[in-house]
Amino acid sequence: MALMRREQAELRSLNTFGVAARARELITLTDVTDADVALEQLARAPAQLILGGGSNILFSSDFEGTVLRVALSGRRVIGPLDSDDGILVEAAAGELWHDFVQWTLSQGLFGLENLSLIPGSVGASPVQNIGAYGVEIRDRLHSIDAIEVRSGRRRTFQADECGLDYRESIFRRGLQSAWLLTAIRFRLARVPQLRLDYADLREELARKGTLTHPQALHVAQAVCAIRQRKLPDPAKLGNAGSFFRNPIVEPPQADALASRFPGIPLRPESAGSARCKLPAAWLIEQCGWKGKRRGDAGVAAQHALVLVNHGLATGRELLTLAGDIQDSVEQRFGIRLQPEVVIV
């Protein structure tokens, strides 16, 4: 199909915050053979943005440039890997993440079950190294096909070349919109190796009576149930999931916080690490923001880390609210929260 182009395009339905914003031009890429033409047009624009599912973005104003929306579709099982007993699976960048996860499970391929019900597209998944309930994309990623926006050069990135870290990758750090990701490959398994380290997940499985003999499908169902209970559905209440990253603190600061704020939920960053991770949701709730509303911009009643659009909030209003939350957490705890959502 030919490239779709629109001028003065409304982006409200293309971001899960449901914020109104206009792009000077919107190009929708549905066929990878049109990528070169699309990138030539993008190169001529005064400002450029590559958009996936729009589930991790806040438009603070209109976009005075060209937005390239990636709507490439297709998924396939490639087959067994030579290097180990993994099975290689590929999806085009525009596939919906949750649909893809469900499809892998229906193929008897395991490894993504903990990442069920995350909004957004497959192409966005490595950009911010999505993670939930003890699994991150970096645990499952095999490789990425990409096209350099500036030159049109094709390149395959192996997983270890992507700089994946907590909600980070080279595609976010400085290279935002430098590469158009077209296809993502994952290393999955025929025999599930379930990850049940997350306490919430074990509790949910116990409640459903499946903790003693869990299967991957039970894990997927439990993750969906937790998410439905804890996180607002973007189809009903605009939001972009966690708005801030969970801060990591060095040991001296962790000790100081623990003695000043007894009961503060500090956890090791990873097994054996001296650095600690602190739930941003807890910090925000302690400052009294949970469930607060200012006009149509607010903090979700069920989870303090999620900013919500009750209807007609503007990106500016949400951004102002986020700034006030950052200020009050910093005043009380001496920690400046960093947004996880990309602000444009």
**Backbone dihedral region for residue 231 (phi beyond 0: left; psi -120 to 50: alpha; all else: beta):** beta
What is the C-alpha to C-alpha distance for residues 55 and 270, in angstroms, rounded to an integer? 27
Does the footprint of ligand EPU cover residue 305 (CB under 6 A)? Answer: yes
Q: Give me the DSSP letters along 84-133.
A: SS-EEEEEETTSBHHHHHHHHHHTT-BS-GGGTT--SBGGGTTTTT-EET
Task: Return the residue of 132, 184, 216, 257 that touches ligand EPU, per CB under 6 A.
Answer: 132
Which of 185, 227, 242, 317 is catalytic? The answer is: 242
Instruction: Decide if 242 is catalytic.
Output: yes
Q: CB under 8 Å to 119, separation ≥6 — which residues?
A: 16, 53, 55, 97, 98, 234, 241
Torsion, Cα 127 132 136 140, to 10 degrees, reads -110
Task: Return the residue of 25, 145, 317, 340 that touches ligand EPU, per CB under 6 A.
Answer: 340
Instruction: Decide if 7 is catalytic.
Output: no
Does the footprint of ligand EPU cover residue 303 (CB under 6 A)? Answer: yes
Q: CB under 8 Å to 262, separation ≥6 — which residues?
A: none
Task: Return the residue of 138, 142, 172, 290 that touches ligand EPU, per CB under 6 A.
Answer: 290
Q: Which helix (H) or strand (E) holds 24?
A: strand 22-29
Does the footprint of ligand EPU cover residue 129 (CB under 6 A)? Answer: no
Which DSSP symbol is given to 161? G
Binding span for ligand EPU by CB under 6 A among 100-108, 157-165, 237-245, 317-325: 237-245
Output the residue with the shortest Cβ distance to ligand EPU. 241
Q: With respect to ligand EPU, which residue has the nearer C-beta, 86 or 234?
A: 234
Task: Return the residue of 202, 230, 310, 316 that touches ligand EPU, per CB under 6 A.
Answer: 230
Residues 173-192 that bind ligand EPU (CB under 6 A): none
Minimum CB separation from ligand EPU for residue 195, in Å?
11
Q: With respect to ligand EPU, which residue has the nearer C-beta, 23 or 333?
A: 333
Joined together, the tokens standing for residue 66 give 């060209």
Task: Return the residue of 74, 251, 265, 334 that touches ligand EPU, per CB under 6 A.
Answer: 265
Q: With respect to ligand EPU, which residue has the nearer C-beta, 21 or 300?
A: 300
Torsion, Cα 151 154 157 158, to 10 degrees, reads -160
Does the footprint of ligand EPU cover residue 218 (CB under 6 A)? Answer: no
Query: Phi/psi at 306 (nearest 5 deg)?
Result: -110, 115
Minimum CB separation from ligand EPU for residue 343, in Å?
15
Does the footprint of ligand EPU cover residue 291 (CB under 6 A)? Answer: no
Minimum CB separation from ligand EPU for residue 184, in Å?
18
Does the footprint of ligand EPU cover residue 22 (CB under 6 A)? Answer: no
What is the C-alpha to C-alpha distance for residues 15 and 24, in angstroms, rounded to an integer? 16
Does the footprint of ligand EPU cover residue 333 (CB under 6 A)? Answer: no
How many C-beta neighbours within 10 Å does residue 2 have? Answer: 8
Does the footprint of ligand EPU cover residue 269 (CB under 6 A)? Answer: no
Classify each residue of 257-277 as buried b or exposed e, where b means 16 or more C-beta atoms within 10 Å of its C-beta: beeeeeebebeebeeeeeebb
Task: Return the residue of 59, 100, 133, 333 that touches ligand EPU, per CB under 6 A.
Answer: 133
Strand 63-70 to strand 48-51: parallel, antiparallel, or no bridges (unpaired)?
parallel
Does the footprint of ligand EPU cover residue 200 (CB under 6 A)? Answer: yes
Q: CB under 8 Å to 293, separation ≥6 — which residues?
A: 299, 310
Question: Which sequence positions are flagged as catalytic?
Answer: 167, 242, 340
Residues that bind ligand EPU (CB under 6 A): 132-133, 200, 230, 241-242, 245-246, 265, 279, 281-282, 285, 290, 303-305, 340
